[in-house]
A and B are shown apart, each in its own frame.
Chain A
Amino acid sequence: MASSSDLDGNPPPPPPFHFSDDERGSSSATTDIVHTIPHSLTSSWIPRKRNLDEDDASISWRKRKKHFFILSHSGKPIYSRYGDEFKLAGFSATLQAIVSFVENGGDSVKLVRAGKHQVVFLVKGPIYLVCISCTEEPYDSLRGQLELIYGQMLVILTKSINRYFEKNPKFDMTPLLGGTDIVFSSLIHSFSWNPGTFIHAYTCLPLAYATRQVAGAVLQDVADSDVLFATLMCRHMVISLVGAQKTSLHPDDMLLLSNFVMSSESFRQVDLARFYLSDITHKWTSESFSPVCLPRYNPSAFLYAYIHYFDADTYLILLTTSSDVFYHLKDCRIRVEMVLLKSNVLSEVQRSLLDGGMHVDDLPPTPCSGSSHLIHNSLPSDSPERFKEPDLGIAGPAGLWHFIYCSIYLDQYVSSEFSSSINTPQQRKRLYRAYQKLFVSMHDKGVGPHKTQFRRDENFVLLCWVTQDFELYAAFDPLADKALAINTCNRICQWVKDVENEIFLLGGSPLSW
């Protein structure tokens, strides 16, 4: 609530507009080899076995564009995105040798460039993480991804693994991670579709304010001394979230926890009869109780998670510090479930999934009233007909293809649906990579932080606007008019404000850190 009035009452002063030097056609934009992936990038991705027959001698392995490795400080492989860890022992030892060679010189290695490849290192005590990539993603992005992979490992094992290495430097960690390949590969996959992985915020499923209130109220009702956090999620999106005793949940923890839950198939045993007949007395239920660690909350200790799926997409996570309150949490879940069924929350959730979020075609025509604006009238424009919307065919207003709006106060972002101009997984992945690049350049501590940026290349026009309150990333048709694009961004901000109580979780958010 506070955030909405602040946004309305104190619009940030219109920032001066800086144009970066990148406003030029890029000739190197098509480095991604386009190969058809038969399903959408997000929900229908089917986890598959990694190519276990590969090793570092295989041509197919060498051709992979992005490798991730986890190894121990003695050079023992722990995880590899592709290939069999066991067969990669020699390669792993080489990586370890690079790290220790630099360390012996009293320094630490961060990045090695080799032709088109970047080799990014992250050292976390006895654990080394390495990414080898030819995707042209910025160093900061890749390093951020390694941080998340390390975090995911802590979710499964906590930082207490370090103790094993103190006792035995040659400790083999792979058995401890048995069966978790899918958790890591699902996280790595999300780097190319989930903006939360680089924005470090979370997103909510769009819902009517009253519906979300109902969910929030019942979660609040069960959040007592035994329940540290109660979260109702739909896929990677939050429906509602309550934290007890002013504790807060970091967005990265949310991301890693939901990835862990969603990628672990054993949690998702849904009795369809139970769901469709809304019969909660149906004779069997499946629920899970598992230790999990939230690295930003406490990297050294396990919490216990009670996990229950209400349907194929919607699940409840109750986090507790006590290992013996399963039956209490089970009762809490039954209370939550009764309310959700009685108030039709679950069917509203399914409807929202079908309808999708903000569609760029629905952008209201004109900004309503005097809230914040992105542009001074005196700013230069690259088109004389700046206020006439050109017909750009199938796209949103002014050639708008997509946007991401992140509220700094709320630690939440909203990502629009894609216009039909961006309809292949490859195009979406390319756009996310471009956003990531933009994000890094906007937050570059060396030359930044920047406030605005306008980029044009042969794939799209990208516009970014960062204020104290929000960050907006928007993508347009490459032929889009600059002034119109800027005008459209103002309209997006107004639109987001108009619907914020449906797209964000407002009021007393336990999510701020």
Chain B
Amino acid sequence: MGCASSIAARDSRQLGFPNSENDGGHDAKNLRVKLVLLGDSGVGKSCIVLRFVRGQFDPTSKVTVGASFLSQTIALQDSTTVKFEIWDTAGQERYAALAPLYYRGAAVAVVVYDITSPDSFSKAQYWVKELQKHGSPDIVMALVGNKADLNEKREVAVQDGIDYAEKNSMFFIETSAKTADNINELFEDFVDYATSRLPPDILAA
């Protein structure tokens, strides 16, 4: 149980906290963002993460088992560095009961659906409700309509996404992991959005 204290510290649901390894001299903030991706299986959660972290797209994408943990550090324009610690969860039904394991400590959640699949949009709404009920009370959520490149097969209207996101105070964006469209924007803009909504005391650099 020697790890209990370190876990408590990491579970403190902070979007950002001071990073002792500062890059010296610069007036830079270093944020650490714990992010969880949720959504139906096959909507492209892993593809979004891999596009963001590796800049790659794998059309033969593999089913995620359990959850994968990835991290990526980016520099924002105001020279803030943000280290994302990302839980990419499996969308499969058998893992639904285990989701709290991954979203419990998350400060931000990205709920993904596939714009060609109304079912996945309903599933996204299920996850939003689940997070509202059982997630951290401060959690900031984004709603993401992925596979925007398949516009000709679209079955979920952009406006439906926007409306649902607005009603639930969520950030909204449509992305394409395939073409990389809006992927970096998702992470950069969402961090901006999230920082503005979190209590200022935990943003001290």
Contact at A266–B7, with CB atoms within 8 Å?
A: no
Residues of A with C-beta under 8 A to B62: 264-266
Contact at B92–A324, with CB atoms within 8 Å?
A: no
Q: Which of A56-64, A171-179, A203-211, A356-364 contacts B (4 or more CB under 8 A)?
A: A171-179
The answer, yes or no, to whether A351 is at the interface (CB within 8 Å) is no
Contact at A286–B70, with CB atoms within 8 Å?
A: yes
Contact at B7–A328, with CB atoms within 8 Å?
A: yes
Closest to A173 in B: B94
CA distance A101 to B28 in the complex (A): 75
Contact at B93–A175, with CB atoms within 8 Å?
A: yes
Contact at B41–A178, with CB atoms within 8 Å?
A: yes
* Cross-interface CB contact of B67 among A156, A283, A289, cutoff 8 Å: A289
CA distance A247 to B102 in the complex (A): 28
A contact residues, range: 35 or more
* Cross-interface CB contact of A224 among B2, B46, B50, cutoff 8 Å: B2
Contact at B65–A264, with CB atoms within 8 Å?
A: yes
Closest to B68 in A: A288
Closest Cβ–Cβ distance, residue B14 to chain A (whole Å): 15
Q: Is the interface of A mostly helix, strand, loop or mixed?
A: mixed
The answer, yes or no, to whether B204 is at the interface (CB within 8 Å) is no
CA distance A283 to B69 in the complex (A): 13
* Cross-interface CB contact of A283 among B64, B73, B93, B95, cutoff 8 Å: B73
Residues of B with C-beta under 8 A to A157: 94
The answer, yes or no, to whether A313 is at the interface (CB within 8 Å) is no
Known A-B contacts A176-B94, A226-B1; the reply to A327 vs B68 at CB < 8 A is no
Closest Cβ–Cβ distance, residue B35 to chain A (whole Å): 14
CA distance A281 to B72 in the complex (A): 12
The answer, yes or no, to whether A330 is at the interface (CB within 8 Å) is yes
Contact at B3–A284, with CB atoms within 8 Å?
A: no
The answer, yes or no, to whether A326 is at the interface (CB within 8 Å) is yes
Closest Cβ–Cβ distance, residue A485 to chain B (whole Å): 46
The answer, yes or no, to whether A290 is at the interface (CB within 8 Å) is yes
The answer, yes or no, to whether A269 is at the interface (CB within 8 Å) is yes
Interface string of B68-101 (1 = CB under 8 A from A): 1111110000000000000000101111001001
Contact at A288–B93, with CB atoms within 8 Å?
A: no
Closest Cβ–Cβ distance, residue B29 to chain A (whole Å): 19
Contact at B93–A284, with CB atoms within 8 Å?
A: no
* Cross-interface CB contact of B63 among A176, A179, A287, A326, cutoff 8 Å: A179
Residues of A with C-beta under 8 A to B104: 324
CA distance A179 to B40 in the complex (A): 13
Closest Cβ–Cβ distance, residue A439 to chain B (whole Å): 32
Contact at B67–A288, with CB atoms within 8 Å?
A: yes
Contact at A266–B69, with CB atoms within 8 Å?
A: no
Known A-B contacts A178-B93, A178-B94; the reply to A284 vs B72 at CB < 8 A is yes
Residues of A with C-beta under 8 A to B73: 283
Known A-B contacts A291-B98, A328-B7; the reply to A266 vs B93 at CB < 8 A is no
Interface CB pairs A-B, < 8 A, 10: A178-B92, A179-B90, A179-B92, A180-B63, A264-B65, A271-B54, A284-B53, A286-B68, A288-B68, A331-B6
Which 5 pairs, one residue from A and one from B, show the smallest C-beta to C-beta distance? A290-B66, A328-B3, A265-B62, A179-B63, A264-B65
Give the A-binding residues of B (Cβ under 8 A): 1-3, 6-7, 10, 41, 46, 50, 53-54, 62-73, 90, 92-95, 98, 101-102, 104
Give the B-binding residues of A (Cβ under 8 A): 156-157, 175-180, 182, 224-226, 264-267, 269, 271, 283-291, 305, 323-328, 330-331
